[in-house]
Structure 1
Amino acid sequence: MPTTRDRALDAAIELLGTEGVRALTHARVDAAAGLPNGSTSNWFRTRRALLAGCVDHLAEQERADFDSSGAPAPSTPGEFVEGLCRIFALQTGPLSARTRARYSLWLELGSDPELGAPLRRQRLEFERWTEAFLVGIGMPHPATATKTVMALGDGLVLHRLTVDPALDARPLIERAVRALMAEA
């Protein structure tokens, strides 16, 4: 059973992802989580503390998702493409509110040295994770390819969430991975 703190943070992430950063208030989080008034402020005294809690909670959720996926590391470019397509489908489907929350936090906190730092650390973790997979499939220039794949993924996710909800990203991901594999 989730703790009161986790219920508040889950509700806060959902609010961020569905209604934006302006919707994030202690009272709205309490209501969304079904908690008594004042519960969220017991854990997070200020809005800034609540935002910091959201950043950390989001990172924990994402790490747990990837750590518990049980999927083997890709060993071919095709398996890598398949994995990216699954992640894309999750981020723009069942986890779309969480994805939108992450983007809201980036826009709100990206330039804040203290609160933006955990966002940047989380991003670096995913870059290292992606680069390890690219090394594993024999990708030439894996560091550069990682930046390309991550930027493409960000663009495709944003495009699907804002412009084209029916976007089929597979052909674009396949084309990018083929092009990156061809570089020598």
Structure 2
Amino acid sequence: MYVIDTDNLIKLSPQGEILRTIRINNPKGIAVEGNELYVAGKDKILCFDTMLLNLKWSLADHREWNPFGIAMKQGYIFVTDIKNNCICRILRRGKSSSWICSVQGGLNKPSGIAVDDNCVYVADTDSHMIWLFEKEIQEISSFCTQGKDSGQFDSPSKIAIKGNRIYVLDSGNCRIQVFDSYFR
């Protein structure tokens, strides 16, 4: 198991014992694919091997950015950028990458991100909504109801997918909401 806190990446045993700690400046998001662990943090993405947490590579953009949420799917890295209010899809092949940034201006602090076989889901904190995109980052729809009732959000900040369930950390309402793949 891997955990990030204010300035650390921590590897834990199944019993909760700390196996290794690495100091990282302000990590915000974490994702695992295969034997690689990705961390979104201060102006870059870091990639570590999962066994020893050795740094394999880092990726920075040519512009100022603040990667926050991170998800992996089929060779792509999906990142939310809260500085530029956009989503980046990065094709990772060897040490090169291509970038697609989209939905600029339509997002207001996109933070959490999750990917399934068909869609990219983004928790947009300051808009109090969840966005759905095709993998090419073309908007499909959004769920934008602010409030305290079931299905409404107040500052959703993280999102995760497990099986056919979608989990949303509804920070302002201090709860986790669970939906099926149709957001019911």
**TM-score of the superposition, structure 2-length normalised?**
0.28
Higher normalized strand content (fraction of residues): 2
Higher normalized helix content (fraction of residues): 1
**TM-score of the superposition, structure 1-length normalised?**
0.28
The structure with the largest alpha-carbon Rg is 1
Q: Which has the higher contact order (CA 8 A, sep 6+)?
A: 1
